[in-house]
Amino acid sequence: MIITLTTDFGLSDPYVAAMKGVILSIAPDAAIVDVSHDIPPQDVDRAAFVIKGAYPFFPKGAIHVVVVDPGVGTERLILVVKTRDSIFLAPNNGALKYVFDVHPEAKVFCAARPEYFRETVSRTFHGRDIFAPLAGHLAKGVPPERLGRPFEEYERGTVTAAARLEDRIVGEVIAFDRYGNAITNIPAEWLADADRVRVLVKGLVLESLSRSYLDVPAGELLAILGGADALELSVNHGSARDKLELSLGETVIAVLG
Amino acid sequence: MIITLTTDFGLSDPYVAAMKGVILSIAPDAAIVDVSHDIPPQDVDRAAFVIKGAYPFFPKGAIHVVVVDPGVGTERLILVVKTRDSIFLAPNNGALKYVFDVHPEAKVFCAARPEYFRETVSRTFHGRDIFAPLAGHLAKGVPPERLGRPFEEYERGTVTAAARLEDRIVGEVIAFDRYGNAITNIPAEWLADADRVRVLVKGLVLESLSRSYLDVPAGELLAILGGADALELSVNHGSARDKLELSLGETVIAVLG
Amino acid sequence: MIITLTTDFGLSDPYVAAMKGVILSIAPDAAIVDVSHDIPPQDVDRAAFVIKGAYPFFPKGAIHVVVVDPGVGTERLILVVKTRDSIFLAPNNGALKYVFDVHPEAKVFCAARPEYFRETVSRTFHGRDIFAPLAGHLAKGVPPERLGRPFEEYERGTVTAAARLEDRIVGEVIAFDRYGNAITNIPAEWLADADRVRVLVKGLVLESLSRSYLDVPAGELLAILGGADALELSVNHGSARDKLELSLGETVIAVLG
């Protein structure tokens, strides 16, 4: 069974390995896949974006564990979420907002059975002491509903959708990647069939979508339908983030036709 | 069989992958788990701390390989250490000091059978040419004692224990983590049952232990019993290291009652 | 079956995990090993060097996937390369130059069978949409020749060999590693049997090769036959790159006898 891990633990400390040790102690055959441990500390929104970009590509039944958990040690709850194809574990803090957004069928439980935790639970490291053992037991076939109780009042988080007004789509930058590409919330499918698309950002106008980064000279800005199935702003051999001094939430407008 | 890796090789070079290739060539079914490859170059003490935080959580029989090895190519010896539950491979330089500290039952050998090394051994990359094949053979069931000879005069390293004088415990900061938490050598169990604990560091007094990071306002200092089963200094949504300008070895005092 | 991954995707984004999800969806038993995801963006030469340092150590049959692909979305081709012992997938951009250099037996195909791609192929993420499914199908036993058509005019790339003129070998720095070691293209075997080797770099003369980093005082420069089977310049407990302000391509001369 596949278990993926998304955390803000970094890879310099023993934290991720301790989680893996606990998982493998319970489920020796689990195939553990790192999504990212480079989520900036406590950045729940970034965690939500990163798991969104990874989980749809995993096989049915995969267990996705997200531990970005500023509230560790408080009374905040831990969610066990079952969608049609996957299981998710995450604190009740919005880290699964994109999952809830596209999976109305999701069944949500909150972890409430300490017999599935480690015997001793620390105040600061529930990744190792609660999330990892829960993941291990799920991988061994314990059904989500046995780990806790149904829970309706979970934190759904806020997904900012792009708005469409006739030939005008108003969206925003929701993430940057390593290359400095700026990923927007404007769905690729809204643009894919348009005869013409112009893109407006920070007072600039791009007259059409590009089909590859090399469509423009090195250092030049372009707009493209990216791998996240969304409109992205990029710079050939450079960073759109740096070139335009973009921030998260920056408005991006696409004009069709 | 599980093999964990802790090195200062980083992840930008082919070194870690070369080790994994060698291991898998000998033991195709080995499950290799990275503990960390971000140990600062030649920082044996940090390696000791990191493996200490990971190995106790792995299943019985796991093989833990630590390669932080400034003396590579010299006559320094390579240790094969068998404790009740685990096997360790490391240079004879103190990287296993915490293991020796808590495992008086450890049996120590030094690697001395080149037939278990790679056929050619380079001067600078014993991780690939000696440690990896030894780990592979251990994973295949070769017993530690067959890889070398018993060795008593190994480097135990120095573990600085906290000192207890009646109601006063004097310890020090032994590590920082990604968040800037300062982990001390004051054991959690010495404090867990106290009615009251005050913590002194750098002229400041914390009047009690916190139960979660959110017990104090954002940016404020707190003391908490952390996941390493030790007293830690933290800042809610911040870094204790930065806020107090802490260094390794900084004195921390806990006053009970 | 082993699949290794070498990319410039970094580990902060969901890209690597998405690739792994696709691979595991096709080949659930694949053992995926990260070589490096820290190739600087679009640095095809660095990717070539890194895969060169890793692939020879993997078992026969391993599949090595290199995705450093500035031309993604253009008409650039994707190569499937079969050597005596391994299979490689990479864009047709020189990333496999060292493989071609030492494997004249290589059979080269270009990917041309979309039924082995993901159903929808994005413009910017062929790592997930083409490379990963091809790797999955190769791992399941689909032979390379079925994924495309024979292709002769592939980009071989330029491997700069060291030149030997009687007792004088003129080479250059081809890579740096995390420690600041400078790895040259002067083969270790050209020097291994010499009675005496002097090394010239940046106006300095090293009078002999060292046998370990500790042969010189901390902070001092040395030359050594390194793990890449080549002459390397190092500084004991320091960085040769920084100490000599070296750049890639810097001339290094070895004088024998």
For strands B78-82 and C221-225, give the pairing: unpaired
Q: Any idea what the Cα angle at residue A104 is, between residues A103 and A109, rounded to 5°? A: 90
- Binary contact (C123, A226; C-beta < 8 A): yes
Domains of chain A: total: 2
Chain A partners within 8 Å of C7 (Cβ): none
State which of A117, A150, A183 marks the end of a domain.
Answer: A150
> Position of tokens 């082993």?
C2
Q: Tell me how close the Cα of B221 comes to any Cα of chain C, in angstroms.
A: 29
Any CB–CB contact under 8 A between B59 and chain A? yes
pLDDT at A214: 94
Q: Tell me how close the Cα of B113 comes to any Cα of chain A, in angstroms.
A: 30
Any CB–CB contact under 8 A between B38 and chain A? yes
Chosen for mutation from A12, A13, A29, A126 (greatest number of chain B CBs closer than 10 Å) is A13
Q: What are the structure tokens assigned to B228, written together?
A: 């390493």
Query: How many beta carbons lie within 10 A of that of residue B225, not counting itself?
Result: 23
Any CB–CB contact under 8 A between B2 and chain A? yes
- Binary contact (A11, B31; C-beta < 8 A): no
pTM of the model: 0.97
Evaluate the CA torsion angle C99, C102, C106, C109 in order and state its sign.
positive
Any CB–CB contact under 8 A between A178 and chain C? yes
- Binary contact (A72, B213; C-beta < 8 A): yes
Q: Is residue B218 part of a domain?
A: yes
Q: Tell me how close the Cα of A64 comes to any Cα of chain B, in angstroms.
A: 18
Residues C41 and C143 in one domain: yes
- Binary contact (A225, C123; C-beta < 8 A): yes
Any CB–CB contact under 8 A between A40 and chain B? no
Please give the biggest Cα pair distance in chain B: 62
ipTM over the 0.85 cut-off = yes
Q: What are the structure tokens assigned to B155, written together?
A: 């480097």
Residues A196 and A112 in one domain: no
- Binary contact (B53, A12; C-beta < 8 A): no
Q: What are the structure tokens assigned to A129, written together?
A: 């002491």
Q: What are the structure tokens assigned to C248, written together?
A: 């890639």
- Binary contact (A224, C73; C-beta < 8 A): yes
Residues C13 and C78 in one domain: yes
Any CB–CB contact under 8 A between A202 and chain C? no
Any CB–CB contact under 8 A between C140 and chain A? no
- Binary contact (C58, B123; C-beta < 8 A): no
Residues B139 and B15 in one domain: yes
List of E strands, chain A: 2-7, 31-36, 63-67, 78-82, 87-91, 107-111, 148-150, 163-165, 168-176, 182-187, 197-201, 204-206, 221-225, 230-235, 251-256
pLDDT in tens, A225-237: 999 999 999 999 9
Chain A partners within 8 Å of C125 (Cβ): 226-227
Cα–Cα distance between C209 and C232 in angstroms, integer? 10
Of C49, C54, C179, the CB nearest to B21: C54
Chain B partners within 8 Å of C39 (Cβ): 12
Q: Which residues contact C222 (CB under 8 A, 6 or more apart)?
A: C206, C210, C213, C215, C216, C233, C234, C235, C236
DSSP bridge partners of B169: B164, B254
Give me the residues of A, 71-100, that contact B with CB < 8 A: 71-74
Mean pLDDT rounded to a whole number for chain A: 97
Q: Is residue C157 part of a domain?
A: no
Q: B105-138: buried (b, 16+ CB within 10 Å) or exposed (e) per residue?
A: ebebbbbeeeebbbeeebbbbbbbbbbbbbbbbb
Chosen for mutation from B29, B50, B176, B178 (greatest number of chain A CBs closer than 10 Å) is B178
- Binary contact (B37, A11; C-beta < 8 A): yes
pLDDT at C257: 85
Predicted confidence band of residue A21 (pLDDT cuts 50, 70, 90)? very high
Residues A19 and A133 in one domain: yes
Residues B140 and B168 in one domain: no
Q: Which domain holds residue B229?
A: 163-256
Chain C partners within 8 Å of B93 (Cβ): none
Any CB–CB contact under 8 A between C129 and chain A? yes
pLDDT in tens, B202-228: 999 999 999 999 999 999 999 999 999
Chain A partners within 8 Å of C17 (Cβ): 4, 33-36, 53-54, 57
- Binary contact (A51, C14; C-beta < 8 A): yes
pLDDT at B257: 85
Q: Which residues contact A133 (CB under 8 A, 6 or more apart)?
A: A22, A23, A26, A116, A117, A118
- Binary contact (C24, A4; C-beta < 8 A): no
Chain B partners within 8 Å of A129 (Cβ): 227
Of A11, A24, A72, the CB nearest to B58: A24
Chain C partners within 8 Å of B123 (Cβ): 211-212, 224-226
Cα–Cα distance between B95 and B154 in angstroms, integer? 11
Q: Is residue A112 part of a domain?
A: yes
Nearest residue to C107 via CA among C130, C88, C134, C91: C88
- Binary contact (C72, A213; C-beta < 8 A): yes
Residues A168 and A110 in one domain: no
Which parts of chain B sit beneath pLDDT 50? Answer: none
Cα–Cα distance between A89 and A65 in angstroms, integer? 5
> Partners for C (CB, 8 Å, 3+ pairs)?
A, B
Residues C74 and C179 in one domain: no
- Cβ C4 vs Cβ C58: under 8 Å: yes
Of B36, B53, B214, the CB nearest to A11: B36
Q: Is residue A107 part of a domain?
A: yes
Q: What is the CATH number of the domain that holds A242?
A: 2.40.30.90
Q: Is residue A81 part of a domain?
A: yes
Residues A74 and A182 in one domain: no
Any CB–CB contact under 8 A between B129 and chain C? yes
Question: Which helix (DSSP H) or strand (DSSP E) does residue B7 occupy?
Answer: strand B2-7
Q: What is the mean pLDDT of each successive set of 10 residues along chain C, which is 257 residues long?
A: 98 98 98 98 97 98 97 94 98 98 97 96 96 98 97 95 95 97 97 94 96 95 96 97 98 96
Chain B partners within 8 Å of C59 (Cβ): 21, 24-25, 28
pLDDT at C190: 96
Q: What count of residues does chain C have?
A: 257
Residues B137 and B195 in one domain: no
Q: What is the CATH number of the domain that holds A15?
A: 3.40.50.10790
- Binary contact (A227, C124; C-beta < 8 A): yes
Q: Is residue C156 part of a domain?
A: no
> Partners for B (CB, 8 Å, 3+ pairs)?
A, C
Burial degree of B215 (CB within 10 A; 0-12, 13-18, 19+): middle
Q: How far is CA B254 from CA B195, B206, B239, in A?
A: 13, 9, 20
Q: A148-181: buried (b, 16+ CB within 10 Å) or exposed (e) per residue?
A: beebeebbebeeeebeeeeeebebbbbbbbbbbb
State which of A125, A150, A175 marks the end of a domain.
Answer: A150
State which of C150, C181, C209 marks the end of a domain.
Answer: C150
Q: Is residue A156 part of a domain?
A: no
Please give the residue of chain B at the shortest CA–CA distance from C178. Answer: B10
Cα–Cα distance between A108 and A97 in angstroms, integer? 13
Cα–Cα distance between C172 and C178 in angstroms, integer? 18
Question: Which helix (DSSP H) or strand (DSSP E) does residue B90 occupy?
Answer: strand B87-91
Burial degree of B214 (CB within 10 A; 0-12, 13-18, 19+): middle
Chosen for mutation from C98, C212, C224, C237 (greatest number of chain B CBs closer than 10 Å) is C212
Any CB–CB contact under 8 A between B70 and chain A? no
> Position of tokens 């296993």?
B96
Residues C142 and C181 in one domain: no
Predicted confidence band of residue A257 (pLDDT cuts 50, 70, 90)? confident
> Position of tokens 């708005």?
A163
Residues A63 and A115 in one domain: yes
Q: Is residue C134 part of a domain?
A: yes
pLDDT at C252: 98
Any CB–CB contact under 8 A between A189 and chain C? no
Q: How far is CA A207 from the centre of its chain?
A: 31
Q: Tell me how close the Cα of C238 comes to any Cα of chain A, in angstroms.
A: 21
- Binary contact (B13, C52; C-beta < 8 A): no
- Binary contact (C229, B9; C-beta < 8 A): no
Chain B partners within 8 Å of C34 (Cβ): 11, 17
- Binary contact (C211, B123; C-beta < 8 A): yes
Q: How far is CA A191 from the centre of its chain?
A: 23
